[in-house]
Amino acid sequence: MPHNIVETAREAGTFQTLLAAVDAAGLGETLADGGPFTVFAPTDEAFAALPPDTVSGLLADPPALARVLTYHVVPGRITSAQITHDSEQTTVEGGVLRIAVNGAVTVNDAHVIQADVEAENGVIHVIDRVLIPAA
Domain limits, the chain = 5-127
* H or E segment and range at residue 53: none
Q: Which fold has domain 5-127?
A: FAS1 domain (2.30.180)
Express each pLDDT in 68-110 by its tens digit: 999 999 999 999 999 989 999 999 999 999 999 988 899 999 9
pTM of the predicted model, to two decimals?
0.94
CA–CA dist 57, 3 (Å, integer):
31
pLDDT number for residue 1: 53
Residue 54 has pLDDT above 80, yes or no: yes
Alpha carbon separation from 44 to 19, 49, 50, 62 (Å, rounded): 10, 9, 10, 19
Alpha carbon separation from 124 to 28, 59, 74, 86, 93 (Å, rounded): 15, 22, 10, 19, 17
Mean pLDDT taken over the chain: 93
Express each pLDDT in 26-43 by its tens digit: 999 999 998 999 999 999
